Amino acid sequence: MRVDVVSIFPDYLAALDLSLVGKARRTGLLDLRVHDLRGWATDRHRTVDDTPFGGGAGMVMRPDVWGRALDDVLPAGGAGHLVVPTPSGEVFTQRHAERLALEAHVVIACGRYEGIDARVAERARAAGHRVSELSIGDYVLNGGEVAALVMIEAFGRLLPGVVGNPHSLVEESHGAAGLLEYPVYTKPPAWEGLEVPEVLLSGHHARIERWRRDRALERTAARRPDMVAALDVAALDKADLAV
């Protein structure tokens, strides 16, 4: 999978050299390239923004500079997926991460100031690329770089071979069961007067699975009632019977 990130602060993406994403880059699982948008500016000041039409505070990122950048980094023939992090986007979820992990080439355009001229996304769609304007949450950041880090971490870890034990991806929060993950424990069994739940020490796998499923349901109901409303309980019960 190839990922191109375009930003006026490319050093912001340095964290992508670390941990599992960094290892995926070094082993060739992820071809991640970071570009400085100012490389496509043409004036001596390497200007990338201008005042907004219609007035208003702040500056807007210029379509000509972004157009030249995306012409160079998006794949020919409209086969790419352009992601634009923005607080006005559709909320990014695990489903988006799963879909992006299946893409051959993703380009992430990190806006700054008041955002990127709307014609940039429009032109990319007209060229045949998929375009997703996505928000990592209901709050405003100073630019798209942090959101790009979040999204790349979320879909990058789903690439085959990135996470050591693929089974660890199965029971995570927001997985196929639509639940939050159950509480986890490790040694020692007793710590500062706090005991690990007895069932987890029992070796009775069916009871352990049932206990975990019940705790996941409780946690989801307490913290994310919206997810409970969307639960496929019949599928859960089937899964339960399989335990």
Least distance from ligand JBN to the Cβ atom of residue 116, Å: 11
Element (H, E) at 126: helix 119-126
Check if the beta carbon of residue 13 is closer than 8 Å to that of residue 5: yes
For ligand JBN, the closer CB: 4 or 133: 133
Nearer to ligand JBN, 100 or 179 (CB): 100
Q: How far is the CB of 91 from ligand JBN (least distance, A)?
A: 9
Nearest by Cα to 59 from 143, 124, 129? 143
Calpha distance 23→19 (Å, rounded)? 6
Q: Does 24 bind ligand JBN (CB under 6 A)?
A: no
Q: Quick check: helix, strand or coil at residue 145?
A: helix
Min CB(213)–ligand JBN separation in Å = 32
H helices of 74-204, in order, are 94-100, 119-126, 145-156
Q: Which of positions 67-106 make contact with ligand JBN (CB under 6 A)?
A: 85-87
Residue 80's φ and ψ, nearest 5 degrees, are: -100, 170
Q: Which region, judged by CB under 6 A, interacts with ligand JBN, from 46-54, 73-81, 130-138, 209-217?
A: 130-138
Q: Which two tokens stand for residue 192?
A: 């500062």
Answer yes or no whether residue 175 interacts with ligand JBN by CB under 6 A: no
Does the protein bind ligand JBN through residue 5 (CB under 6 A)? no
Task: Tell me the C-alpha distance between 69 and 130, whole Å.
Answer: 17
- 31-39, 117-125, 135-143, 188-196 -> range binding ligand JBN (CB under 6 A): 135-143
For the bound state, the minimum distance from the C-beta of residue 151 to ligand JBN, rounded and expressed in Å, comes to 9
Q: What is the DSSP letter of 5?
A: E
- Residue 52 tokens read as 């907004």
Q: Name the residue nearer to ligand JBN (CB basis): 98 or 114.
A: 114
114 near ligand JBN (CB under 6 A): no
Residues of this chain that interact with ligand JBN (CB under 6 A) are: 85-87, 135-137, 139-141, 144, 147
